[in-house]
Amino acid sequence: MGRHKTPPKFYDFEFHFPPATSLVRCATVHANWLQGFEGQLDSAHLNFLHSSSIPKTPNSTGQMAADDTSPRFEFIEKPYGFREAALRNYQDGTVYARIREVVLPYYSFIPGNHEEPRLVVVVVPIDDEWSAHWYYYMNPFGPVPEWYIKRALEGADVDDDDFAKDRGDITNTWNQDRVAMKNGHFSGITKNFVYEDFIIEESMGPIMDRSKEFLGSSDAVIVRTRRMLLRALDNHAQGKMPFGLDENVDYREIRALAIRYPKGEDWKTFDTKQPPTFEFQVSDAAK
Ligand SMILES: [Fe+2]
């Protein structure tokens, strides 16, 4: 597309895994793609939107995130986007880092805990008001474990081409369960925790009026993304490549990481392909 005579290469990501070791599914959402993508980038919402739907067993992602609801964000700018760490102080005095890779304009590499399959979410526009959310789960060491598939699919529609199509819409307030809310459920969206993301995106309206936003410090990643996208538009208007495409980047190196480490270490020195091992591991979460 566009004026460039030579189409850029497809990114050569590492996620060329055979079907036996991966799981791919898609949901179509009635919201502009950027609303969906920004939701995927926002690390702080784990503690709020998903507070009732992500288990908080000891050492699980839910517990570690709940221990510090105000993560600090640090970034390393990359030719294709950035690496971002959400840093939380864990209860035993260590630091819990969720290190994400963002490849603009629409790839988010989501950190998983030790031995969990890798997850990449890709949010692409269908038109101005509809977007497709692709979920790629992959395990380089073997089949995606049953417990993981069960947790990912629980309560979702069985159609892998549109796995949240039974979420409802504004006419039935997305099947929000008010009785569950009276009993303490945060969102009242009880089918599958990813539905919470989709419904929040849709409930803003298909194209959000951003002039009415009040961004806070936990929105640093959103601000950074928007600035980079605007800069890419400027570059494109001047006939330059938007970002990344003309750089010599090994896209197979891009990988997210969730890691717990002693205070004083610096996540920026960690190699996501061969992360350092400390005497403790991030637990393999709630199975
Ligand atoms: Fe979410």
Query: Residue 284: what pLDDT?
Result: 44
Q: Tens of pLDDT along 66-98?
A: 777 788 889 999 988 999 998 988 878 889 898
Q: How remote is the CA of residue 199 from the centroid of ligand 1, in Å?
A: 10
Q: Tens of pLDDT along 217-245?
A: 888 889 999 999 999 899 888 988 777 77
Query: Residue 58: what pLDDT?
Result: 66
Q: What is the mean pLDDT of residues 239-252?
A: 78
Q: How remote is the CA of residue 129 from the centroid of ligand 1, in Å?
A: 20
Helices (H), 154-273: 178-182, 193-203, 220-237
Q: How remote is the CA of residue 50 from the centroid of ligand 1, in Å?
A: 7
Q: Where do the DSSP E strands lie in the chain?
A: 22-29, 72-78, 81-89, 95-103, 107-110, 118-125, 131-138, 257-261
Q: How remote is the CA of residue 24 from the centroid of ligand 1, in Å?
A: 18
Domains and CATH numbers, the chain: 19-269 (3.90.380)
Q: Say if CB 20 and CB 134 are below 8 A apart.
A: no
Higher pLDDT, 203 or 17: 203
Query: Residue 287: what pLDDT?
Result: 41
User: CB 286: neighbour CB atoms within 10 A?
Assistant: 17
